Amino acid sequence: MVYSPGLMEDRREAPGVEELEKRVEELEGITDRLGTVPDEDLVEMLDRAVALLREINAGIEAGIHHAGEETRELDTLLGGVDFGPFDRALEEFEGRGPGGNPG
């Protein structure tokens, strides 16, 4: 198996939780102010809330997509690994009784 630095570098490109948290905080601020906003500003504020919800949703969808890509990459890597020697050693170890004697 070969180490691939690309796998670790790609993590930086994953959708940022911090950015989503900022959007959620802004959305919470909007909901807190909705009852005190003059009617003429209400539509503008609701438009911003809808835009934030779209951004949050897009971030979540991107995160799901990224996780799926990582899963496929890991499946490919693990598919190329021969676990036979490990499995045989584990079976041998499990077959031993207390004190390391064959059971």
Task: Evaluate whether 1 touches 81 at the Cβ level (below 8 Å).
Answer: yes
> How do the domains of the chain map onto residue ranges?
5-100
pLDDT in tens, 63-85: 899 999 999 999 999 988 888 99
Residue 88 has pLDDT above 80, yes or no: yes
DSSP state, residue 83 = -
Mean pLDDT of the chain: 84
Distance separating alpha carbons of residues 92 and 72, to the nearest angstrom: 32
